[in-house]
Amino acid sequence: ERLQNLPKSIEMFETLNRRYPSNNYELDSWYQLYIIYDGLGNEPKAQEYANKILEKYQTSKYAMVIKNPAYAEELARENRLLNDYYNATYSAFTTGNYREAFEKSTSAKEKFGATNPYQPKFALLAAMSTGNLEGKDAYVQALREVVARYPDTDEQRRAKEILRLLGESSASLPGGAREEIEQFKVEDDALHYVIIVFKDKDSDLNKNKITVSDYNEKYHKLDRLRISNIYLGTDADSRLPILVLRRFKDKADAMKYYTGIQKNSGDFIPARENYEVFPVTQNNYREVLKEKSVENYRAFFQLNYLK
């Protein structure tokens, strides 16, 4: 029965890609077609889709698996380790071992990387452990850092709710976080860029660049904005695709573009692409490149641009 369904699956995936080129499921569908054709022994078609993935999505996990089948096993092993580590950390917290929970939470970034999918959870656990170890003031500071660093996450919403129940605002940053953003400078009158940071490392930059170009043609035709793309990060698994828009005469000009995106969101990159937008000075942009991360700049931006 499964073998009889395979031709239907092939037809479904190939029809999808014919009708909607570069759709959001393109990578997944290509990989499924690669697997199906490989299982059917159709090596030329399997290789065709393998080549498509390796050419267009060379840094994706699917590409890694095609190049090295053992990578899938390694990836599954790493995911199991991360899940087990989080469960152990959460167990330490729920059983009242707050010091152990705090130490495990704060060590997670080094063990599994700052972009690991559990990092917001570890940050909230660290904050809650801090509250039990050091009291309300430290708890409030740690919760504010979660709010600043992990926008649009369940953990940010939980931290905001806890702060509300504590009668505290979430609008300022704790001292420790302030130290981590001191390299960024407020330069309201300096030239600015706008960077669009995609959270999915396999985002189709070319397609999104065309969307932004069309948007600029419609709303900023006289501004002569230039678009380039870079990748931010240290390795294939953690690097983030970024579009860089140059240039804006000052902060006000860049923020006008930023607010315009929200007002005219129907003509901009769809929200499902999962991205963030940051106006940034040339000097601060260089700092972001040095850090190979937007994590600290995000906190700086929220404090100095969205207040």
Measured from the Cβ of residue 86, the count of other Cβ atoms closer than 10 Å reads: 20
192 near 285, Cβ under 8 Å?
no
Answer whether residue 105 shows pLDDT above 90.
yes
Give the CA dihedral 194, 198, 204, 208, nearest 10 degrees: -30
pLDDT confidence bin for 76, thresholds 50/70/90: confident
State the pLDDT at residue 253: 96
- Percentage with pLDDT > 90 across the chain: 46
- pLDDT at position 1 is 40
pLDDT at 28: 83
pLDDT at 85: 95
Residues 6 or more apart whose CB falls under 8 angstroms from that of 23 comprise 16, 17
> For the ranges 69-73, 94-98, 218-222, 279-283, which has the lowest average pLDDT?
69-73
Residue 279 reports pLDDT greater than 90: yes
% of the chain with per-residue pLDDT over 70: 93
pTM of the predicted model over 0.85: no
E strand or H helix at 251, and its extent?
helix 251-263
Question: What does the pLDDT average to over 88-107?
Answer: 93
In the numeric block, the tokens 């302030």 are attached to: 178
**What whole-number distance in Å separates Cα of residue 114 and Cα of residue 226?**
31
**Structure tokens of 54?**
């390796």
pLDDT at 256: 94
- Please give the structure tokens belonging to residue 175: 């001292």
Report pLDDT digits (tens) over 115-140. Answer: 788 999 999 999 999 999 998 889 99
Span 262-267, average pLDDT: 90
pLDDT digits (tens, 9 = 90+) for 154-213: 898 899 888 888 887 655 555 555 566 788 999 999 999 999 999 888 888 888 999 999
**DSSP β-bridge partners for residue 194:** 245, 279
Confidence of residue 307 (pLDDT cuts 50, 70, 90): low
pLDDT at 169: 66
